[in-house]
Amino acid sequence: MSQEGAELDREPAVRVEGVGVGYGDVLALDGVDLAIAQGRVCGLVGANGSGKSTLFKTVTGMITPARGRVLVHGLTPTAARKRGLIGYVPQSEQVDWAFPVRVADVVMMGRYGHMGITRRPRAADRAAVADALERTHLSDLADRQIGALSGGQRKRAFVARGIAQGARVFLLDEPFAGVDKRSEATIVEVLRAMRDAGHTLVVSTHDLAGVPELCDEVALLQRRVVAHGSPEEVLTPQRLLETFGIEGRPVREVA
């Protein structure tokens, strides 16, 4: 490992300190503190409007907090993004699904930061795309038009784009929304393999029943971090009440 890589690994993959974000008079995040180590899957759980998407956009540098700071492997979000360290899969990609672009072309977009101004793929770029397609089980769909994929396959295509990019931290906003059970199982398999390869993943989800299977740790968010720890420690009736305003219902029934 290079000295630069060793320095990055000494810091938590994601560190959020006292972050506050507002939209006009609406307070979206209020003093959020969160630290996630490298090679972990952290589930981000909260009701609609709890600030999950805002937190993701703050970590990526798309939103500048009014107070506090965010570090990604010890770097500011802007610096981390310029180095290609952050992969972001939003709930709905702004894509013209009818546009005749292949899956391989979408994944190759992750390599743009590694190319020159001509953006002509080199052997290293093609190899990175092939590896990303293989790791996300999409090699046999590389020449398929992106709009012809299922919802789960599309999600995997954009995960593959982040892998090809060389991202070390992935933020996935509701990756299981709108996908069937088979696709969900495949995505879980892909995310576990990424974790085992040293990537850090933060996954927002409403499926609390699936959290213990996928996640090493969980953060409950309600404009601030209500609790952060193992699923067994965090997904308790009292903490769910504080987060969702519910009490006495099994975790499996919470949407």
In this predicted model, what pLDDT tens digit does every residue of 153-207 receive, in sequence order? 988 998 899 899 989 999 999 988 888 888 888 889 999 999 999 999 999 998 8
Whole-prediction pTM: 0.86
Whether 103 and 81 map to the same domain: the answer is no
Q: Is residue 98 part of a domain?
A: yes
Give percent above pLDDT 70 in the chain: 91
Give tens-digit pLDDT for 22-67. 998 899 999 999 999 999 999 999 998 899 999 999 999 999 999 9
Whether 208 and 248 map to the same domain: the answer is yes
Whether 237 and 114 map to the same domain: the answer is no
Whether 37 and 98 map to the same domain: the answer is no
pLDDT at 249 over 70: no
Q: Is residue 162 part of a domain?
A: no
Whether 9 and 74 map to the same domain: the answer is yes
DSSP 29-59: EEEEEEEE-TT-EEEEE--TTSSHHHHHHHH
Whether 143 and 177 map to the same domain: the answer is no
Q: Is residue 14 part of a domain?
A: yes
C-alpha 107/C-alpha 105 separation (Å) is 5
CATH number at residue 185: 3.40.50.300
Q: Is residue 158 part of a domain?
A: no
Whether 239 and 190 map to the same domain: the answer is yes
What total of structural domains would you count in the chain? 2
Whether 54 and 115 map to the same domain: the answer is no
Whether 179 and 81 map to the same domain: the answer is yes
Q: Is residue 133 part of a domain?
A: yes
Q: Which residues of 109-142 are buried (b: 16+ CB within 10 A; e: fewer)?
A: ebbeebeeeeeebeeebeebbeebbebbbbeebb
The pLDDT of residue 246 is: 55
Query: Is 85 in contact with 73 (CB distance < 8 Å)?
Result: yes
Q: Is residue 13 part of a domain?
A: yes
Task: Give the closest residue to 177 by CA, choosing from 220, 207, 209, 215.
Answer: 207
Range of the domain at 191: 3-85+168-253
Q: Is residue 163 part of a domain?
A: no
- Average pLDDT of span 80-85: 92
Whether 225 and 122 map to the same domain: the answer is no
Whether 9 and 130 map to the same domain: the answer is no
Whether 76 and 174 map to the same domain: the answer is yes
Q: Is residue 16 part of a domain?
A: yes
